[in-house]
Amino acid sequence: MSLSTALSKMEMDGYFKYENLSLLCQAAGVEEPSTKEEAISSMKAFYKDASNIKSAYLSLPPFESDIINAHVQSGCCIDAKAVNALAEKHGVKNVSKMYFVTPIELFFNHLQGSALSLVFFPYGAMPKEIFDVMKKITPPLKAVFSEYEPTSDCVTIEREGRVSDIAFLARYINKTSPPVTANGMVTKQHALKFAAACGYKDLCQSGATSIASARSTSQMIITSSMLILALASKLIAADSGSAYIGPGASKVLSLPNAEMAKHIFEAYEDAASFSELSCIKGLKAKSKRAKFPEARKEARLILSNCPSGRYIKFKEFEEYAYKANRMFARRHIGAVVKNYGYEVGWEAFESKYLTVYLSLLCALGMADTIWCTRASDYSGESEAYIEAFRLTSSGAFVLGIAGGSPMSANEDYEPKNGFVVQPNFEILVEESESRAAHDLYFSRFLDKIVEDDAISAYTLSFEGMARGLDSGISIEEVATYLAKYSSKPLPSNVSRQLQDWSRLSGRIAVRKVLVIEADDEYLLEEIKTMKGVSDLLGKQLGPSCVIAPSDVGKLKKAIEKNGKFCMEEL
């Protein structure tokens, strides 16, 4: 609400204090006018001079100045809970018990007589013109967090430097094309197999000690978070009941670990199709115009006030977030309701939202988390919750917080960007930050002979080159890729073989065509000269044979078994 609108809605003798123009003029020290128009004109002149607002602020008693501070610090989102807490702190008692009132109504209900605070809330709100002045002089909300000491009955998930797990996930998806559920989650059987192969720590949302007891992949906190991030960043995609590698995966997986994490996080932050509410049982947005990316950016801003490198209690962080911007999600997502239809508050909505947000950051190595269990308020079953967390060094780097660095201080490896091509035509891809990208490329057409945590090995063969051609990968492209990324020069026999294959490819093709036939070549020549015909005729077939359409595949295989490349042109 603008200042002009607020003043125009007030009356000379309004029922509530903050709606009364006469009281407002008295509080501001303005000579009381006789008409509403004169009162509005006088107050506009008062507010135009910012020093008047500042002077009024400095004259406030402690209780009122604390209310103003809290209101401005929260972005004008103060609530009745905060007002009553400050009233209790200053020993101010309620004059009359009023229900279903706004926080500002409650604030003035605490005051007696004409209060100077009326100056800041004409018509019960703080217009932008006043807020902009107050924002410059109000002390910022301090983010103070005590040191947290982990307890033995909790589970600690530390994942800094493990963004490569998401790269491993992309390789696994590319290799297996596993089935997915309606929400894009890989089925539990494949999720457990992937988690076991990758060897990271995970836990179940239900509080169970083993993820094997999870009812679905969505209950596996780290695994489901990695899948969400991979889907949001288009590393993988899900369609027609199965998952497959995304179109931009090679480019993303070739990035250094820190840049990969930054890319994935920013892609998640901008993902309009994903809703954190889908990870919270029984909640849904009431509005169809919910803007989830904007809510994430506000959550990021709140989180950026946390220290990095040490654990803090989630409860303290939540209390800070509540004071700093309790509407950070609701402002953009709108009202959120339970399945039963009633609207929920902070505890069931924003608090759970922050848990999902931190879980995703944990999966990406940007935050370490400590999880404990408690009985659910709704079902009575045991559920996992974040007891404490800390931003990692790489997390601070991605969030742009001072002191962050792209690599963990204890991450001890030297990045390697290539592979080795051996004279026996084997390609050895060692563990490095670019391994996922190379595995993704080679697995599209070459036979894999070895895969473990340390190395992947492929065979460069005629059959593999034929599969590459079928996939639209030319032999020239393969030769360029090998020369560009190999850690050592290509063996001469491998280079010669690639040149020979390139020269021999493209000479034989099986093509499906429609033809026009004449029973002798002279009649065909006559047809070609007819008016309107020549523009409709394509290339005259030279050395070609007619084959049955059902024999195309058999013929192609037979030719390739004899060492000749054969293209199938549709």
Q: In degrees, to the nearest 5, what angle opens at C-alpha 538 toward C-alphas 536 and 543?
A: 150
Q: Which of 276-280, 380-384, 498-502 has the lowest mean pLDDT?
A: 380-384
Asked if residue 379 has pLDDT above 70, the reply is no
Please give the structure tokens belonging to residue 125: 């709100």
pLDDT band at 414 (very low <50, low <70, confident <90, very high): very low
pLDDT, averaged across the chain: 86
Phi-psi region of 447 (alpha: psi -120 to 50; beta: other; left: phi over 0): beta
Q: What does the pLDDT average to over 273-294? A: 91
Asked if residue 24 has pLDDT above 70, the reply is yes
The span from the CA of 437 to the CA of 248, in Å, is 11
pLDDT given for residue 413 in this prediction: 35
Three-class DSSP category at 284: strand
- At 210-269, the pLDDT tens digits run 788 888 999 999 999 999 999 999 999 988 889 998 887 888 887 877 788 899 999 999
DSSP 240-272: TTEEEE-TTHHHHHTS-HHHHHHHHHHHHHH-S
Work out whether strand 509-511 and strand 567-569 pair parallel, antiparallel, or are unpaired: parallel
pLDDT given for residue 209 in this prediction: 67
The span from the CA of 233 to the CA of 271, in Å, is 8
Contact 488, 420 (CB under 8 A): yes
- At 111-126, the pLDDT tens digits run 866 689 999 999 989 9
Q: What does the pLDDT average to over 58-64? A: 92
pLDDT band at 406 (very low <50, low <70, confident <90, very high): low
Q: What does the pLDDT average to over 371-382? A: 74
The span from the CA of 179 to the CA of 184, in Å, is 9
Helices of type H across 486-570 = 492-504, 521-528, 552-561
Asked if residue 402 has pLDDT above 60, the reply is yes
pLDDT given for residue 69 in this prediction: 94
DSSP state of 33: P
The span from the CA of 552 to the CA of 148, in Å, is 70
The span from the CA of 174 to the CA of 114, in Å, is 71
pLDDT given for residue 409 in this prediction: 36
Q: Which residue type does 38 have?
A: E
pLDDT given for residue 410 in this prediction: 36
- At 136-190, the pLDDT tens digits run 999 989 888 988 877 768 899 999 888 888 888 888 888 888 999 888 899 999 9
pTM of the predicted model as reported, rounded to 2 decimal places: 0.73
Contacts of 241 (CB under 8 A, 6+ apart): 179, 180
Residue 511: beta bridge partners?
Answer: 569
- At 70-81, the pLDDT tens digits run 999 998 888 888
Q: What does the pLDDT average to over 312-326? A: 93
Asked if residue 408 has pLDDT above 80, the reply is no
Closest CA to 424 of 442, 401, 451, 449: 449
